[in-house]
Structure formats: C-alpha cells, structure tokens
Amino acid sequence: MTRARLAAAICAVAVAAAGSWLWPLLAQSAGSPSTTAASLPRLPDGRPDLQGLWLKSAGGFQGLFVGSLDGTNFAAPGGGRGRGARAGGPPPGPRYEYTPEAEAERQDRLKRGYEDPEARCHLPGVPRALDQPAGLYPVQIIQDEKYVALLHEAMHDVRIIPTDNSAHPRNYWAWDGDSRGRWEGDVFVVDVSNFNGRAWLDMAGNFVDENEHVIERFRLIDRDTILYEATVTDPTVFVKPVEFRFTLKRVPAEQQILEYSCLEGERSLQHYTDEDGGKKRRAK
Amino acid sequence: MTRSRALRAVLGSAMLAATLAPAPESAAQTGQQTAPFAPARLWDGKTPDFRGIWQVRGTAHVNLEGRGGIIVDPPGGKIPYTPQALKRRQENYRNRATADPSVKCYQAGVPRATYLATPLQILQSPGNFAIVYQENHAFRVFHPDTRPHFDATDWWMGDTRYRWDGDTLVADVAAMTDQAWLDQAGNFHSTEFHVVERYRMTGADTIEYEARLEDPSVYSKPWTIRTTLHRMKQPGVRIIEDECLEDANGVRRHVSPTDPRNLLKTDYSRWKKPAQP
C-alpha cells in the first residue's frame, strides 16, 4: 500500500466513523420525495446536477457493510455483524443465480481468486467500477448537456457517458463495455453493453462473460445522496438478472480525488490471502 | 511542509507571477498584432469553453529535442540538463526499449500526456475542469489554486492547481514521481519537478499549450515547450478505452477495443456433464 493509499484508508475510516454519528440525522433529513425533487440542484437543461465527489457509503461489496434502502446507508458497527445487521437484516446485496455450467465456472474461479483481473490492476468493469469497498475510493462526476463523466479514483477508471441515447457501436469490446445514457425524468439511466468478457464482479469469483448487459440508474435523492441501482443480465451466466443497489454520499468539497497508480507499483495481490494463492503468486 | 517544499512553493508562485507579465511570445516573434481569440463561454456566460476532444500533431512524443521538437526556450531546443543528469538521460536512451514507463503501460505523466499520439478530452462545467487522456485511461482533475498543493506525494499525473488569467487557464503542477519520462528518448525529471502550464484558445479549433518545466536537481534552468492541440472533428469521434493486455510472455501490450483479440469468450464446455450412454 502506498502512502497515498494509506492516507485514503485513514480518511475512509474517519468518514465511516463520522457516518455512524450522522446517520440518525440523515435519516430525518431524507424528507418526502416531492419536497426533495423541488430542492435538487439542477443544470440549466433542468436535469438533476449529479456533479461532485461521491463515495459509496454502504451495501453491495460482498455484504461487508449493511444499510437501509431509504437512501440513508451507513456502515454497520462491527463490519456487518453489528446492531444494524440485527435490526434491519443484511442488505439485499446481489443474489447470483447461475446456470449449472456457470456455477461450476464460478466455483473454479473462487479457488483461483488470485486470478481476479483487478488484482492485476485491470479495469473493474460495470457495476464493479462503482461497487468498490465502501468509503474508500471516491468518484468525481462532471456533467454537461451532452455527457455525464465518471472519473473513478480506483484504477483511474474513466467512463464518459453520452446522454443522447445513441446506439452501441459494432465491433467494440471493452472491460467497461460501452455506455449510453438517457434521462428518464430525474433518473439518469445508462445502458451498458459491448463487454470484452474479462472483468470479474468481485474478489469472490462472481463473474460475467461477454454477453453481459447492464442497466444502471443514478437517482439524486437529496442534495448529498445518489441512489445507484444496476441490473445485470447475462443469459449464458445467470438464470435471473442480478440486482445491485447502494448509495453514494457526497464528499465534502475540501476533499479531493487521489491518484491510484496501481500498475505503476501497487502490489494488489497482497490483498488476497495465502489460501487464495496470494503467497504463491507473490513468490513468482 | 518540508523546507524544500516550502521553498518550491515560494519559487513556484514567483515564477508563476513572472510568466504572467509578458505578452504571448509567439505573437511578438511573428510581429503580428491580432486581437486575441475570444472563446465561446460555458452556460455561466463567463468561463471559456475548452470542451472537446483534442490531439497534437507531430513527433514530440518521440523526442522533445528531435526534429519535431517543441522546445521554444532555450532557443537551441535542447533541455538544459546538468552534466550528471545528461549522463542519466543517455543511459535512459540506451535502455528505452524496455525502460520507458510508457512501454509498461504506465500513466504518461505531465506534460508528456499532452503531446502523445493519442487524443485527450477536456471535460468542463462552471467550476470544474478535468482532462481525460486516452492513453492508459489517465485523468487529471484540476483544482482551484485557492488551496495549496497536496503535499508529499509521488503521483504520476501530479497534483494540479489552476486559475484563469483572462481567457488563459494557468495550471501549476507539482508532487510528481521521479519515475515518469518526458518522451520515448529518455528525457526525465526528479521529484523536484514543477510545471506551469498555460492553455489558451487561439481559434475555435486550436488550443495553444505551453509548459514551463523546472527541476533544480536535473535542469540548470527552467525551460519551456509549446505546441498546439487540434480539435478532432470527425463524426462520432470519442475517447476509446485503452487497457493493455498481457501477451503470451506476460508483457502488457496495447490492444484496441476494436481488436477481436480483446474479446474473451468463457468456455463452459469443460463443465458440461457427459451425455449418459
């Protein structure tokens, strides 16, 4: 872990600590949808202004964190086994229902966790770009009448999403696929296709192949909260669509995105246990 | 803040002030006295609109000092290395086939990312300015210079603070690694590297890019490069994903997303149960 990473981790812990103090207040301030819609920041074209620096607050990511789904997510004391977990139950994290062959493939990948491409600094794909460990890597959103751009700290991943609902290209295969956005009222909807079939969904062997298709929804539910939802379909992998749902919280303006230079020196494989083969891989 | 950092900050602001005073050198050199181009504005009616996909022409990315070099100061077009640093450059040059960080698919650094043979996209809204470089999906978020640089980092793309000097964006870049190169010829800098960039629209489809580079431990004096970013206007032009793939020997190579080699189909046949006899 580089010094910058360490600093980020410390910040993340601080944010999480602050969050656990703040969440009752946030829960009260969520308000009714109608009053919130009127008070949302907007661009001149009338669209909700999604711009800012955002941090995934809770939910997703292998159930390490819990959160409510009314827009006020928070890290549970004790990493998912604490009060929040007992009171509200675990968050409805993604449920994967694989086809028999894909289940066998998944079990195989689970044994070869160190082959997770993200451990070798590859782009995470979608929705993993946003479904990073909660509270750790922010995303900067810059928006105009033609684009919504997501600049991710993690893997310095970039998605510049045109908002003209244009068609996906032919003969284009990418880790992050090809994203085309449109506004459905106040919801920013992104259709993602053209995946190259290389990205995994997490560190635990969950995966998609080249037939992956994602519909993402970004909903600004109050000034400081985006509810993010992604529906992942892949007919050769899943028998049912997989749903991701978590919130992004606004990071105070005095903070900034840090550089994540992974390939340039980070040793990501250290995050995998020796049982996963981390030791073996490191020795190489 | 360490002493060298503090010194650099002071020096930096002094140099910044010094670079602001004179009129654009290029206009003075050619003797033309034309009114400066007035760029379009963002929806705040104020901020110059630099949005678009841009790319330089030429071969500066191969060798800043070469035939297509873009060094405008000193006049000879050579980097004012200290004798010791020049030796290191020659060594870099000999090892360039493997030692160039770009060969390893690392982020290009500043200012190298600007004059690569691949495009960049400027993203902008009132109060926001960022550049996305296609090569290795590097990006820089420009922060207002109302607060000091992020201290004691060794980033590939540096830490950028900017302000508007009229219609010119002036960016102060520091906190950079000593691992990045400036071109394919082994030109380099240390962690004392400090860059002042100036972006100025000279027409609807051109941005003049100027960078003043200083590094007291490598260069005997600051030096300046200048080049032009041209707007890419082809229909449907976009930044495409550039993620290197490991080849058979485990070496990372650029593979375009339009190259079918990028596509990996999962083979499930090995999991299929054999048909019952």
- The shortest C-alpha distance from B273 to chain A (Å) reads 9
Q: Using CB atoms and an 8 Å cut-off, which of residues 221-250 of chain A contact chain B?
A: 236-237
> Does residue A151 belong to the interface with chain B, where contact is any CB pair within 8 Å?
yes
Contact B155 A264 (CB under 8 A): no
Which of B104, B123, B266 is closest, CB to CB, to A149?
Answer: B123
Residue A146 confidence (pLDDT) above 70:
yes
Instruction: Report which DSSP code applies to B46.
Output: S
| B271 occurs within a structural domain | no
- Contact pairs from chain A to chain B, CB under 8 Å: 124
Give the pLDDT confidence score for residue A93 in this predicted structure: 73
Specify the pLDDT at position A1.
36
Question: pLDDT value at position B53?
Answer: 98
Q: Which residues in A lie closer than 8 A to residue B106 (C-beta atoms)? A: 261, 263-264
Chain A contact for B272 (CB, 8 A cutoff): yes
Provide the domain count of chain B.
Answer: 1
**Cα–Cα distance, A26 to A36 (Å, whole number):** 13
Contact at CB, A142 and B130, closer than 8 angstroms: yes
Kindly state the percentage of chain A with pLDDT values over 90.
56
- Flag whether residue A255 sits within 8 Å of chain B, measured between CB atoms: no
- The more confident residue out of A272 and B206 is B206
**Nearest chain B alpha carbon to A266:** B106
A151 — pLDDT class (breaks 50, 70, 90): very high
Is the per-residue pLDDT at A8 higher than 90?
A: no
Digit-coded pLDDT (tens) for A16-43: 333 333 333 333 334 445 557 788 999 9
Domain of residue A147 covers 3-283
How many domains is chain A built from? 1
Return averaged pLDDT per consecutive 10 residues of chain B, 277 residues in all.
45 44 45 80 98 97 95 97 98 96 95 98 98 98 92 89 98 96 98 97 98 98 98 95 92 94 94 75
For residue A11, the model assigns a pLDDT of: 40
Q: What is the pLDDT of residues A37-59, one digit of tens each?
A: 788 999 999 999 999 999 998 64
pLDDT in tens, A207-266: 999 999 999 999 999 999 999 999 999 999 999 999 999 999 999 888 889 998 888 875
* Domain assignment present for B125: yes
Q: What is the pLDDT of residue B206?
A: 98
C-beta atoms of B243 and A43 within 8 A? no
CATH number at residue B199: 2.40.128.20
Residues of chain A numbered 6-35 and touching chain B (CB < 8 Å): none
Q: What is the extent of the structural domain holding B79?
A: 3-24+40-231
Mean confidence (pLDDT) of chain A: 78
> With contacts defined as CB-CB under 8 Å, which chain B residues touch A194?
257
Q: Is B213 a member of any domain?
A: yes
Residue B152 included in any domain: yes
DSSP states along chain A:
--HHHHHHHHHHHHHHHHHHHHHHHHHHHT--HHHHHHHS-B-TTS-B---EEEEEEES-GGGTS-B-SSS-B-PPTTTTSSHHHHHH-S-------B-HHHHHHHHHHHHTGGG-GGGGT----TTTTT-SSTTTS-EEEEE-SSEEEEEESGGG-EEEEESS-PPPPSS--BTT-EEEEEEETTEEEEEEE-B-S--BSSTTS-B--TT-EEEEEEEEEETTEEEEEEEEE-TTTBSS-EEEEEEEEEPPTT-------TTTT--GGGGS-TTTTHHHHHH-
Residue B244 resides in a domain: no
Q: What is the pLDDT of residue A253?
A: 81
pLDDT band at residue A72 under the 50/70/90 scheme = very low
Note the pLDDT of residue B250. Answer: 82
Which of A78 and A257 is assigned the larger pLDDT? Answer: A257
pLDDT score, position B81? 98
